Amino acid sequence: MELDFTRDEMMTIAASRALGNEDICFVGIGAPSAACNVARLTHAPDITLIYESGTIGTAPDVLPLSIGDGELCDTAVTTVSVPEMFRYWLQGGRITIGFLGAAQLDKFGNINTTVIGDYDAPKTRLPGGGGAPEIASSCGEIFITMKQSLRGMVDKIDFFTSFGHGEGGNAREELGMTTKGPTLLITDLAIWHPDPVTKEFTVIALHPGVTRDMVQETCGWKVKFADNLETTPEPTELELATLRDLNARTKAAHSGAGA
């Protein structure tokens, strides 16, 4: 089946659709940032985007390279200190959604962005948690987006950077967490929701052209599929044009071509 869009484009657009106009969203750099800004530029113009550096209500014209990118502060409604951002806004329960990526992810939505391998002698040292552990515990709910691979979607993560649902079930409640934790996973192949009881991620929709075998072959645990498995609607012309224009502007700006 030949598609007029890439798997990455489908992932980003599917993720953007999960966001609403009234959401206050703590945005991660990379794929989460792209999804959030596509939502802002299409169906959710009034969404409030917050980045870890303290920018509130930011509306970047290009995607930021990091949380310290000047584009975020330049376009924000206001910028507050990082301690205020975390203590008042995040830990105060004022943010509805945290949108995160992952280097490693398990079936209960636990995230590793710290090390691959043994912590004391890792094969790879990753960027670390930053504010993600606090985002994962304090936002109303967590959306996760990542490309599927056996290396990334694993049966057991090497390090708990950001707590999802632990070993499943009521693990969050047992630790005193009152937020929902991961409620949505969008990959380049499928849309996943946690089981209401076990909290194990279950595929509820396959992206166009994707098969069950393709999902299982790129996932390190035995995948569960919903009984009423759906197909993700294809990107609209507006969604694709918005994403492609955003990526083109970003590439030009970061390469110096936009100067």
**Residues carrying an active site annotation:** 52
Q: What is the DSSP string of 172-186?
A: HHHTT--S--EEEEE
| Site of tokens 């090497």 | 158
Query: Are the C-beta atoms of residues 52 and 136 closer than 8 Å to each other?
Result: no
Q: What is the DSSP string of 114-148?
A: SEEE-SSSEEEE----TTHHHHHHHSSEEEEEE--
Hey, which bits of 2-126 come out as E strands?
Answer: 24-27, 48-50, 55-56, 78-79, 97-100, 104-105, 111-112, 115-117, 122-125
Dist CA 127 CA 125 (whole Å): 7
Dist CA 221 CA 218 (whole Å): 9
Query: Are the C-beta atoms of residues 49 and 29 closer than 8 Å to each other?
Result: no
What proportions of the chain, in percent to the nearest 5, are helix, strand and coil?
30, 25, 50
Query: Are the C-beta atoms of residues 110 and 162 closer than 8 Å to each other?
Result: yes
Question: Which phi and psi angles does 115 have, rounded to 5°?
Answer: -145, 150
